[in-house]
């Protein structure tokens, strides 16, 4: 029966000596598939003595680390689901979250007196990596496909962050969907920005280099540390978002020639938010030996579409996210018979398929259209009006492609629009650029030091806060 870790344990037997994971500084540590599986099995003997309850919830109190990964994997194997806190949660929110969600286990990196008191008073079990047993007996846990595995939270860029529940079968389906379009080579060494890809890699036989980002929080990014990891370990694959690659590129472009050799990288995937042509052009120059892909998806459906980048397209078409995944059924829900200049229907993108979490069709909240069998994004649903015949993303992408601006957010109202941006360009330059495509009489242009973004990707503009 479906268990997310079945393939991992199988790989641990067949490829016990292959490196599974490389932890970063200050103490670089490598674990083989066999060693990691041994840690998981060792911990499970202790875990079983606690009397695990399927579909109960465990809350990791820190990001994935060498101290807690085997505890996390043992929890999943036993049918205990992992949950995360919404971003930027306070200590008081933590207490209410534990109480309201009936958290049964807290996964800890180290002893903490206050946490111990809290657990004792609420009857919560503490799980720590030091609780290993010499008993190596192992039997794969049989689970139903609908056994809850993971509760994560959306970025909340256009609304409040919401929890998304994924079962073991859901995660297996998403794992298989990724393999269908990005099948790894035997010598693949991946440095993923997104922690969920670690689970995918462990089930794909891929060596994972954990990014050297303190607490795995993007706001702590120091790009030179990532670039040094790429060189040190011969990383072949990178995945990340706009914020991440923008900072890597800034660091490379400001460095002396040859300081950062990234020639081992042969595949790059960028997603999490719309990806501008200008950034893709910069990535293709800096990582000249890599195939470059734009990946479109969401927590509920990952991936939806993929675009291999070869050359810039007209930014006024919107953001091209490529060909629909073969297992996805896509529908454009027409809105008031809106069509673009070529007669293609524009509306909300709705998807269904094997690796879509929703039991029915999933409404993405993105507006777009199909052109030559490729999907283009033009707006979010709550900002899906046009000004001068263009949607918000089309105007944003145009300005990003033409001017030295780092962020832009366009809000369209009936018969008027406001343009918010940050960067080197002046407001007058933005106005001059806009006059080439639209009437600017009813447009407000405002420059900011920076625009508000979501807490997870640090890339999605929070339009409601402009």
Give CA–CA dist 144/2, Å, rounded.
6
Residue 422 falls inside a structural domain: yes
Domain end point (choices 121, 153, 185) = 153
Report the domain count for the chain: 2
- Report CA-CA distances (Å) from 269 to 167, 210, 253, 278: 25, 16, 20, 16
Domain end point (choices 153, 181, 208) = 153
Tens digit of pLDDT per residue, the chain (466 long)?
578 899 999 998 899 999 999 999 766 789 999 999 988 888 887 777 777 677 789 998 888 888 889 999 999 998 899 998 776 556 667 788 888 888 898 888 777 777 778 788 888 888 876 545 555 556 777 788 889 999 987 765 556 667 889 999 999 999 999 999 999 999 999 999 988 899 999 999 999 999 999 988 899 999 999 999 999 999 999 999 999 999 999 999 999 888 999 999 999 999 999 999 999 999 999 999 999 999 999 989 999 999 999 988 999 999 999 999 999 999 999 765 454 445 578 999 999 999 999 778 999 999 999 999 999 999 999 999 999 999 999 999 999 999 999 999 999 999 999 999 999 999 999 999 999 999 989 999 999 999 999 888 899 999 999 9
- Report CA-CA distances (Å) from 222 to 49, 53, 262, 452, 454: 42, 40, 16, 21, 19
Q: Say what the pLDDT of residue 128 is.
A: 79
Please count the other Cβ atoms lying within 10 Å of the Cβ belonging to residue 114.
8
Q: In this structure, are residues 294 and 321 in contact, taking their beta carbons and an 8 Å threshold?
A: yes
Residue 73 falls inside a structural domain: yes
Residue 46 falls inside a structural domain: yes
Residue 387 falls inside a structural domain: no
The sign one gets for the Cα dihedral 312, 318, 319, 325 is negative
CATH code: domain of residue 401: 3.30.300.30
DSSP letter at 219? G
The token duo for 443 is: 């447009």
Please count the other Cβ atoms lying within 10 Å of the Cβ belonging to residue 464.
12
DSSP assignment of 452-465: -B-TTTS-SB-GGG
Domain end point (choices 153, 178, 198) = 153
Residue 427 falls inside a structural domain: yes
Give CA–CA dist 437/357, Å, rounded.
40
Q: Collapsing DSSP states into helix, strand and coil, what is residue 252?
A: helix
Residue 69 falls inside a structural domain: yes
Chain CA centroid to CA 226, Å:
17
Q: Say what the pLDDT of residue 133 is.
A: 52
Give CA–CA dist 186/251, Å, rounded.
30
DSSP letter at 397? H
277-286 vs 242-254: helix axis angle to the nearest 10?
50
- Report CA-CA distances (Å) from 97 to 101, 102, 184, 318: 6, 8, 38, 40
DSSP letter at 432? H
Q: In this structure, are residues 238 and 209 in contact, taking their beta carbons and an 8 Å threshold?
A: no
Residue 372 falls inside a structural domain: no
Residue 173 falls inside a structural domain: no
The token duo for 47 is: 């875990």
CATH code: domain of residue 10: 3.40.50.980
Q: Where are the alpha helices (DSSP H) in 290-419?
A: 392-402
- Give the contacts of 437 (CB within 8 A, at least 6 positions apart): 316, 388, 390, 395, 398
Quote the Cα angle for 412-367-443, to 5°.
15
User: 23-35 as b/e, with b when 16 or more CB fall inside 10 Å?
Assistant: bbeeeeeebbbbb
* Domain membership of residue 461 as a residue range: 392-465
Give CA–CA dist 75/59, Å, rounded.
10
Q: In this structure, are residues 239 and 197 in contact, taking their beta carbons and an 8 Å threshold?
A: yes
- Report CA-CA distances (Å) from 157 to 25, 88, 161: 32, 13, 8
């Amino acid at each position: 029966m479906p268990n997310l870790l079945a393939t991992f344990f199988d790989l641990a037997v067949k490829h016990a000596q292959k490196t599974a994971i490389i932890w970063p500084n200050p103490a670089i540590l490598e674990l083989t598939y066999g060693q990691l599986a041994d840690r998981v099995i060792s911990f499970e003997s202790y875990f079983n003595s606690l009397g695990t309850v399927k579909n109960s919830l465990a809350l990791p109190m820190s990001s994935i680390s060498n101290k807690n990964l085997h505890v996390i994997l043992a929890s999943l194997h036993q049918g205990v689901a992992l949950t995360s806190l919404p971003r930027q949660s306070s200590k008081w929110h933590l207490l209410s979250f534990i109480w309201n969600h009936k958290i049964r286990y807290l996964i800890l990196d180290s002893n903490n007196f206050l946490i111990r008191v809290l657990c004792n008073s609420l009857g919560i079990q503490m799980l720590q990596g030091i609780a290993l047993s010499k008993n190596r007996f192992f039997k794969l846990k049989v689970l139903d496909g609908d056994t809850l595995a993971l509760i994560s939270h959306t970025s909340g860029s256009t609304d409040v962050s919401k929890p998304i529940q994924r079962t073991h079968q859901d995660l297996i389906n998403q794992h298989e969907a990724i393999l269908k379009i990005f099948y790894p080579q035997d010598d693949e060494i991946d440095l993923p920005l997104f922690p969920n890809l670690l689970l995918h890699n462990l089930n794909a036989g891929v060596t994972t280099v954990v990014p050297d980002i303190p607490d795995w929080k993007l706001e702590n990014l120091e790009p030179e540390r990532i670039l040094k990891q790429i060189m040190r370990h011969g990383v072949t694959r990178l995945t990340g978002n706009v914020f991440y690659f923008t900072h890597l590129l800034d660091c490379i472009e400001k460095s002396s020639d040859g300081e950062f050799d990234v020639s081992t990288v042969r595949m790059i995937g960028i997603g999490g938010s719309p990806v501008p042509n200008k950034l893709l052009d910069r990535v293709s120059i800096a990582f000249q030996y890599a195939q470059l892909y734009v990946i479109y998806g969401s927590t509920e459906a990952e991936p939806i579409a993929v675009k291999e980048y070869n050359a810039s397209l007209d930014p006024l078409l919107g953001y091209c996210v490529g060909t629909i995944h073969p297992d996805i059924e896509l529908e454009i829900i027409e809105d008031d018979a809106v069509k673009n200049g070529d007669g293609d229907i524009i509306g909300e993108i709705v998807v269904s398929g094997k690796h879509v979490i929703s039991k029915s069709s999933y409404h993405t909240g993105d507006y777009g259209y199909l052109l030559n069998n490729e999907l283009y994004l033009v707006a979010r649903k709550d900002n899906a009006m046009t000004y001068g015949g263009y949607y918000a993303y089309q105007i944003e992408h145009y300005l990003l492609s033409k001017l030295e601006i780092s962020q832009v957010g366009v809000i369209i109202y009936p018969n008027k629009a406001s343009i918010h941006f940050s960067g080197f360009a002046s407001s007058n330059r933005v106005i001059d650029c806009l006059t080439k495509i639209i009437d600017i009489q009813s447009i407000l242009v405002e420059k900011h030091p920076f625009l508000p973004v979501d807490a997870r990707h640090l890339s999605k503009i929070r339009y409601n806060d402009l």
